[in-house]
Structure 1
Amino acid sequence: MSMLVDLSHPIRQGQPSFPGDPELSVEAHFTTASGPRCNLSRITMSSHHGTHLDAMFHFVEDGRTLDQMPLEWFYGPARVIRVPKQAGEEITSDDFRRHEAVLTPGARILFETGWHREYGTLRYYEEAPSMTQEAAVYLASRQLRLIGMDTPTPGKDYYEIHHTLLGHGVEMVIVEGLANLDALPDDREFQFIGFPLNFAGRDGSPIRAVAEC
């Protein structure tokens, strides 16, 4: 019998946002004791807050927007690989090459550094492990369909890395800010589900990422 593993961080008032992004606000707009006597919230947030995915348009001006990406890209068999890292350490091409057997064209790969445990702190954004440009080029060469991670962004050279992974001829879905990757099996595939909201013409969306194991 399969089980579902929640790979998404809860979104709570007071959480820090990625530096420079809009601040998160989740507040009551109506309550059952006022107004039309129902609970309704006012939400302000970045399209890339918390557990989310990037559309190509996030960094590529003529890249696909969310509504132009096939639904199949967000759902299907996936595997997790372990890339343990400490604060500020580099994630290199060698870290991925040792898992080359599962880095096949069309694959959905999630990698765990252990950094998801820092979520909800400023340190999560400021000291995260960082993918090198060489590692991004290597991943692009493997023609993956999706790369997911427990860090808030692939690397500190985010402009170059995102262009490498999202650009024309690659168009890899990037899922950032995953949780609970340590609960996934090492030795077999599972189903990854991570659909974005259908924001027409936009660059990214929070998702409720789930693994069916």
Structure 2
Amino acid sequence: MSWIDISQPLTNDIAHWPEDQPFVYETTITKENSGSVNIGRITTSTHIGTHVDAPFHYDSSGRRILDLDINRYIGDCQVIDLSEFDTLSAEAFKNKLTKPAERVLIKTSLRNNPKYFPENVPGITSDGADYLNTLGVKLVGVDTPSVDDISSKDLQGHHALYHHDIYILENVMLDSIEPGNYELIALPLAIAEADGSPVRAVIRRKEVSHG
């Protein structure tokens, strides 16, 4: 099975959080001028495109990127479709997720459009995080910019997941992905002191064993 890229491409017109740093790539040294190489420079937020959150993002005493276990970002995952639900609650999860799963990627009703920043997204509720914990979930990924509603200030979903030590992956692209069992790789960059990091997220469908 081939790997499938579920990352948002980082382009100069990618959508970003209001008032946050836009992504900018520019070639600051050219082969014509240097005689040997092209060299680019990027300016960006750590929460651009497909990215992970470290607890320091929403808790000043929380762990930062280099404190996190990279093994959480590699391994078996389950893709579920919750596009019919307005919130990612325990009731919603119970409709599509009943067996233990270490990593879960969630398709919502939001269509993948990296150039559009949504006004509203379905957030993960406290009881939703509680339910994921009962199934042993250690990482949750969403196809939205946040596990909370865009206007949220208390970040209930972030803190509820943090309470259960469930890692957060945001802005994965799942429109063309069928629900089922996959392998996931979504490694953050090793940015010292960072509250988050862009990732290149890829999945691969797991072979079905016929015994």
TM-score for both structures, normalised by structure 2: 0.85
Match of 1:197 among 189, 194, 206: 189
List alignment gaps of at least 5 residues for structure 2.
206-211
Match of 2:162 among 147, 166, 183: 166
CA RMSD, aligned part only?
A: 2.1
Following superposition, the deviation at residue 134 of structure 1 comes to 3.8
Q: Determine the structure 1 residue equivalent to 2:34.
A: 35
Aligned residues: 202
Percent sequence identity is 29
Distance (whole Å) between structure 2 residues aligned to residue 191 and residue 63 of structure 1: 28
Following superposition, the deviation at residue 127 of structure 1 comes to 3.0
Following superposition, the deviation at residue 28 of structure 1 comes to 1.4
Q: Determine the structure 1 residue equivalent to 2:24.
A: 25
Q: Determine the structure 1 residue equivalent to 2:209.
A: none
Distance (whole Å) between structure 2 residues aligned to residue 116 and residue 8 of structure 1: 14
SS of the residue 2:169 aligns to: strand
Larger fraction in helix: 1
Residue 73, structure 1, aligned to residue 68, structure 2: no
SS of the residue 1:43 aligns to: strand
Following superposition, the deviation at residue 63 of structure 1 comes to 2.1
User: Which amino acid letter does the alignment assign opposite residue 112 of structure 1?
Assistant: K
C-alpha contact 1:116 1:178 (8 A) present in aligned 2: no
User: Per-residue CA shift, 1:88-109, capped at 9, x if unaligned?
Assistant: x43333111113323x2x6100
User: Which amino acid letter does the alignment assign opposite residue 159 of structure 1?
Assistant: L
SS of the residue 1:16 aligns to: coil
Q: Determine the structure 2 residue equivalent to 1:150.
A: 143
User: Per-residue CA shift, 1:27-46, capped at 9, x if unaligned?
Assistant: 11112222354221111111
Following superposition, the deviation at residue 140 of structure 1 comes to 4.3
Residue 90, structure 1, aligned to residue 87, structure 2: yes
Distance (whole Å) between structure 1 residues aligned to residue 19 and residue 72 of structure 2: 29
C-alpha contact 1:85 1:129 (8 A) present in aligned 2: no
C-alpha contact 2:112 2:175 (8 A) present in aligned 1: no
TM-score for both structures, normalised by structure 1: 0.85
